[in-house]
Amino acid sequence: MKDNGNLFLPPGHSTIAPGTDALFDFIYYTSIVFFAIVVFVIVYSVWRFRPWGFKGYLRLFIIPKDALEIKVTGQRWFWSFDYPDGATSVNDLVVPVGKPVKLLMSSKDVIHSFFVPSFRIKMDVLPNRYTMTWFEATDTGAYDLFCTEYCGAKHSSMIGKVRVVGEREYAQWLESSSKAGEGMPVEDYGAKLYAQKACITCHSVDGKASTGPTFLGLFGEQVKLEGGGTATVDENYLRESILSPQARIALGYQPVMPTFQGVLKDKQIDALIAYIKSLKESGSK
Ligand code: CUA
């Protein structure tokens, strides 16, 4: 039998050629049949389910006009939240139940991603750009929130809770947050901030070195610095390290601390310094 070849091969001139061409043709035409079936199902689904997917997309991306706007900042390795009347929180997002909440998000360093599985919302958080998402919580309670984009060594500590509370409780929380630390010994307020503002992620208070130096026995020490020289850990060094962490880095540590400029108020920095001071003698190194 003469083999005339096909679109892909020249005419065959050996005993093997006809069998090879037959197998080739079989695979080729079978593929065309399945390709046609798959494309038909795709086109049909796009047409058949268009009210579903398209409306869902619009609901997700059109933010209600009356939404409460909260600014979300991601940075290595914590979340901070700014509320309309000046209250702030770290890793804990407090919102009222049954009200649309708009999140206006940006990053101070690398790409993070804001994910609340219970609300089915996930949105990348980028440096130099705002991204947005919104939700309306239907039930009070505490729901997990995650960073879901690998952003460095402590990515897995970049977690928190969305606390959904009643309208009245939300108003009370806003008020107490603006009065936080009043009528409290300053070291105790510092201890509270140490946990609340996520210092705890990188600084221990039990003498163990972590991503950053331990706070235990730190105050008053002479520390060697990256790039040579020493510094005495006093109030000014601590303040500088909180606001401009890259200025004088303790020897042996990476320059990974984010600035807390704009995250901590002066009063809160004072309280943290008082807390670190109080850890001076409370234990052996
Ligand atoms: Cu931020 Cu992972």
What is the overall mean pLDDT for the chain?
Answer: 89
The pLDDT value recorded for residue 2 is 66
Q: Ligand 1 centroid to 155 CA: how many Å?
A: 4
Dihedral sign for Cα 74, 207, 233, 229, please.
negative
Q: Between the CA of residue 129 and those of 113, 150, 254, what are the distances in Å?
A: 13, 19, 27
Assess contact for 102 and 134: CB atoms under 8 A: yes
Assess contact for 127 and 111: CB atoms under 8 A: yes
194: number of CA atoms within 13 Å, CB side? 23
Report whether pLDDT(283) > 60. no
Q: Ligand 1 centroid to 207 CA: how many Å?
A: 26
Q: Ligand 1 centroid to 194 CA: how many Å?
A: 20
pTM greater than 0.85 (yes/no): no
Q: What value does the mean pLDDT take over residues 83-88?
A: 82
Place of tokens 């390709």: 35
**pLDDT single digits (tens) 5-47:** 777 888 889 999 888 888 999 999 999 999 999 999 999 998 8
Torsion from C-alpha of 196, 200, 202, 208, nearest 10 degrees? 170
The CATH class, in words, for 65-178 is mainly beta
pLDDT band at 281 (very low <50, low <70, confident <90, very high): low
CATH superfamily of 186-278: Cytochrome c-like domain (1.10.760.10)
* CA 77 to ligand 1: nearest atom: 1
The pLDDT value recorded for residue 126 is 96
Kindly give, in sequence order, each residue whose CB lies less than 8 Å from that of residue 125, ignoring residues fewer than 6 positions away: 72, 74, 105, 106, 107, 111, 112, 113, 114, 131, 149
Q: Ligand 1 centroid to 32 CA: how many Å?
A: 45
Domain limits, the chain: 1-48, 65-178, 186-278
Report whether pLDDT(259) > 70. yes
What percent of the chain stands above pLDDT 70? 97
150 lines ligand 1 (CB under 6 A): yes
Place of tokens 């091969």: 9
149 lines ligand 1 (CB under 6 A): yes
* CA 76 to ligand 1: nearest atom: 1
Nearest to 193 by CA among 87, 268, 88: 268
Dihedral sign for Cα 256, 260, 263, 269, please.
positive
127 lines ligand 1 (CB under 6 A): no
Measured by CA distance, the residue closest to atom 1 of ligand 1 is 112
